[in-house]
Amino acid sequence: MNILAELAGYIAGICTAICFLPQTLQTIKSKDVQDLSLASYIIYCTGMICWILYGIYLHSLQMILFNLISLGFAGTILYMIVKYKNAAGKISRQRK
Site residues, a copy of itself (CB under 8 A): 1, 5, 8-9, 11-16, 18-23, 26-27, 30, 32-40, 43-44, 46-48, 50-51, 53-54, 57-58
- Residue (50 or 87) nearer to a copy of itself, CB: 50
Burial class (CB in 10 A: 0-12, 13-18, 19+), 90: exposed
Instruction: Let me know: does 39 contact 83? Beta carbons within 8 Å.
Output: no
Give me the least distance between CB of 91 and a copy of itself, in Å please: 17
Q: What whole-number distance in Å separates Cα of residue 76 and Cα of residue 78?
A: 5
Contact partners, residue 30, CB within 8 Å, separation at least 6: none
- Rank residues 35 and 94 by Cβ distance to a copy of itself and give the closer one: 35
Q: Considering the complex, what minimum distance in angstroms separates the CB of residue 61 from a copy of itself?
A: 16
- Cβ neighbours of residue 64 under 8 Å, at least 6 residues apart? 52, 55, 56
Q: How far is the CB of 15 from a copy of itself (least distance, A)?
A: 3
Q: How far is the CB of 93 from a copy of itself (least distance, A)?
A: 21
